[in-house]
């Protein structure tokens, strides 16, 4: 394909275009690389084994391919294995020639006017994903596009297959998961049928492919969002979904203001808050202690993290060294930038300067425990961060925001600001969250920095480092 002109096609391209024209535009017009999946690697290996066996008779079949050995013809020089469509190919549509190879052509019944054309398929579930005989001869289906094309090629190659009147179109399936099994799906049809299917259904499709190939933008290629997750998922999904957006990257994450009616409706749907069971009273302030306002120290003692009457003691992660018996600490003003190194175990004090804390209609607050184990039910912050990072990546048109190229709106480190803004504008629901292993995750570090101002006094606890 050169400059939006279709120089040649393959039957696999027909299948890809019928699945989603936009995906075909990404792969064949823009020529973006498609990573090989594990399933594709199994298919390549299986095809190579079958080709060697059918050509030489040497049994090099693995467990998957061997399950269908009884369905294969006896190896022989008369079989056409991995047969090229030829250059030039007799098969064309709307003036565009087709290239490619056919897995197996068996001419042993050609004297009767019968020719068998076989395509080997490797599938995780034959019963679920296998085609039917009717589909094999219907060019409006993915399976039929391929097999009808092969049948037309055979009918046009009359010099090689003289007298062919009947085509046996076969999918030979090999199951790659679970029990090793194989199944032959066979359809018998006349050459007139495949010729008519090709003319009436494939030729108009190639005309549409010409139009899509001339599209200057992928956004002009019609998408099929129902196929995004088929066959392991489209590798161009992020680029596809971001290409249609018109608002700026950061504006996508700013929530729209809710009307009073909507806010009231949301308030009615939130379940009643469960009052936690008290754990005694604080010796300093006299407030009742609950799982919501306490954290368990390494020593086993219970810490009242929101006590207004005393400094909060250090909260240690499980693998921290024993703390010194006496540590004198003074509150220091909040400083930005790299924190100074200390020799002794530092005291984790709750943040004093903060914005309005995030709360639910029932008064539940956002609590964040960084590199420490809270003495209350808590969710992992990593799951929330991964979800937001995926949304920012998708909006920026990249698979992973951390590896955005220079051409991306997230390139040159701009993804950090985009992620922080997305988190501030759509923080996690109020509740307790644990952020463990901060030193090993740049995404978590950015999330914690963005969420700290949203936590109230005593609701942000950092373990000793």
**Whether 393 contacts 402, CB under 8 Å:** no
- The token pair at 61 is 């079949």
| Domain boundaries 11-241, corresponding CATH code | 3.90.320
**What percent helix, strand, coil does the chain show, rounded to 5?**
35, 15, 45
pLDDT at 125: 92
Pairing relationship of beta strands 101-106 and 80-84 according to DSSP bridges: antiparallel
Instruction: Kindly tell me if the per-residue pLDDT of 90 is higher than 90.
Output: yes
- The token pair at 165 is 């009147």
Within 331-409, strands assigned E span 366-370, 379-380
**Whether 109 contacts 166, CB under 8 Å:** no
Residue 65 — very low, low, confident or very high, per pLDDT cuts 50/70/90? very high
Angle at the Cα of 77 from the Cα atoms of 71 and 82, rounded to 5 degrees: 65
The fraction of the chain above a pLDDT of 70, given in percent, is 74
DSSP SS3 for 83? strand
pLDDT at 352: 35
Instruction: Kindly tell me if the per-residue pLDDT of 346 is higher than 50.
Output: no
Q: How far is CA 117 from CA 8, 22, 83, 172, 341, in A?
A: 22, 30, 11, 10, 73
Q: How far apart are CA 419 and CA 415, in angstroms?
A: 6
| pLDDT, tens only, 134-149 | 999 999 998 999 999 9
Element (H, E) at 184: strand 182-190
Q: How far apart are CA 45 and CA 123, in angstroms?
A: 13
pLDDT at 164: 95
Rg (CA), the chain: 32
| pLDDT, tens only, 410-433 | 877 788 888 988 898 889 999 999
- DSSP at 415: H
**Whether 100 contacts 12, CB under 8 Å:** yes
Domain boundaries, the chain: 11-241, 294-462
- DSSP at 371: S
Residues 34-50, mean pLDDT to the nearest whole number: 87
Q: How many helices (H) and strands (E) does the chain have?
A: 14, 13
The fraction of the chain above a pLDDT of 90, given in percent, is 40
- DSSP at 385: H
pLDDT at 291: 59
In sequence order, the 6+-apart residues with CB closer than 8 A to the CB of 132 are: 185
Pairing relationship of beta strands 101-106 and 114-123 according to DSSP bridges: antiparallel
Element (H, E) at 167: strand 166-175
pLDDT at 354: 40
Residue 292 — very low, low, confident or very high, per pLDDT cuts 50/70/90? low
**Whether 370 contacts 461, CB under 8 Å:** yes
pLDDT at 94: 92
Q: What is the mean pLDDT of the chain?
A: 78
Q: How far apart are CA 375 and CA 301, in angstroms?
A: 10
Q: How far apart are CA 464 and CA 314, in angstroms?
A: 6
Output 99 or 260, whichever has higher pLDDT: 99
Strand order in the sheet with 166-175: 80-84, 101-106, 114-123, 166-175, 182-190
**Whether 402 contacts 428, CB under 8 Å:** no
Q: Where are the alpha helices (DSSP H) in 316-413?
A: 381-396
Q: How far apart are CA 419 and CA 425, in angstroms?
A: 10
Residues 278-286, mean pLDDT to the nearest whole number: 69
Instruction: Kindly tell me if the per-residue pLDDT of 103 is higher than 60.
Output: yes
Helices 381-396 and 442-451 pack at an angle, to 10 degrees, of 100
Q: How far is CA 38 from CA 82, 129, 215, 283, in A?
A: 22, 17, 32, 61
**Whether 373 contacts 399, CB under 8 Å:** no
Residues 194-203, mean pLDDT to the nearest whole number: 95
pLDDT at 312: 36
pLDDT at 344: 42
Residues 237-256, mean pLDDT to the nearest whole number: 52
Residue 225 — very low, low, confident or very high, per pLDDT cuts 50/70/90? confident
Beta bridge partners of 166: 114, 190
Instruction: Kindly tell me if the per-residue pLDDT of 251 is higher than 50.
Output: no
Residues 28-52, mean pLDDT to the nearest whole number: 87
Residue 102 — very low, low, confident or very high, per pLDDT cuts 50/70/90? very high
- The token pair at 365 is 């607050």
Residues 282-302, mean pLDDT to the nearest whole number: 62
- The token pair at 462 is 């950092």
Instruction: Kindly tell me if the per-residue pLDDT of 399 is higher than 50.
Output: yes
| pLDDT, tens only, 315-340 | 344 444 444 443 333 444 444 555 44
Q: How far is CA 411 from CA 95, 350, 391, 402, 442, in A?
A: 43, 35, 16, 8, 16
């Amino acid at each position: 394909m050169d400059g939006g002109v279709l120089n040649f096609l393959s039957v696999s391209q027909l299948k890809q275009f019928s699945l989603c024209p936009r995906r075909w535009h990404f792969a064949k017009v823009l020529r973006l690389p498609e990573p090989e999946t594990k399933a594709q690697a199994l298919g390549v290996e299986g095809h190579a084994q079958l080709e060697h066996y059918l050509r030489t008779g040497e049994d090099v079949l693995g467990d998957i391919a061997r399950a269908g050995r009884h369905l294969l013809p006896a190896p022989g020089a008369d079989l056409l294995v991995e047969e090229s469509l030829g250059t030039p190919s007799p098969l064309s549509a709307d003036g565009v020639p087709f290239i490619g190879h056919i897995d197996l052509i068996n001419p042993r019944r050609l004297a009767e006017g019968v020719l068998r054309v076989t395509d080997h398929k490797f599938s995780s579930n034959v019963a679920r994903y296998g085609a039917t005989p009717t589909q094999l001869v219907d060019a409006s289906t993915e399976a039929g596009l391929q097999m009808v094309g092969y049948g037309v090629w055979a009918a046009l190659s009359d010099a090689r297959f003289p007298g062919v009147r009947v085509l046996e179109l076969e999918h030979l399936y090999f199951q790659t998961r679970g029990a090793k099994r194989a199944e032959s799906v066979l359809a018998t049809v006349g050459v007139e049928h495949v010729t008519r299917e090709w003319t009436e259904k494939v030729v108009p499709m190639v005309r549409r492919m010409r139009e899509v190939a001339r599209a200057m933008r992928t956004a002009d290629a019609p998408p099929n969002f129902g196929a995004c997750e088929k066959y392991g998922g489209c590798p161009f999904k992020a680029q596809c979904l971001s290409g249609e957006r018109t608002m700026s990257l950061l504006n996508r994450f700013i929530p729209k203001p809710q009307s009073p009616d909507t806010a009231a409706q949301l308030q009615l749907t939130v379940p009643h808050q469960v009052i936690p069971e008290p754990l005694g009273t604080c010796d300093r302030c006299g407030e009742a202690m609950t799982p919501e306002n306490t954290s368990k120290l390494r020593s086993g003692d219970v810490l009242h993290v929101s006590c207004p009457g005393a400094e909060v003691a250090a909260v240690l992660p499980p693998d921290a060294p024993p703390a010194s018996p006496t540590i004198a600490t003074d509150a220091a003003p909040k400083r930005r930038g790299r924190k100074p190194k200390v020799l002794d175990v530092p005291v984790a004090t709750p943040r004093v300067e903060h914005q309005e804390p995030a709360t639910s209609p029932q008064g539940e607050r956002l609590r964040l425990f960084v590199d420490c184990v809270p003495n209350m039910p808590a969710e992992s912050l990593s799951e929330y961060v991964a979800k937001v990072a995926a949304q920012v990546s998708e909006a920026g048109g990249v698979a992973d925001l951390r590896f955005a190229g220079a051409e991306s709106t997230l390139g040159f480190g701009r993804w950090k600001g985009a992620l922080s803004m997305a988190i501030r504008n759509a923080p996690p629901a109020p509740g307790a969250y644990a952020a463990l292993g901060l030193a090993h995750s740049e995404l978590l570090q950015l999330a914690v920095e963005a969420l700290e101002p949203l936590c109230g006094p005593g609701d942000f606890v950092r373990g000793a480092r």
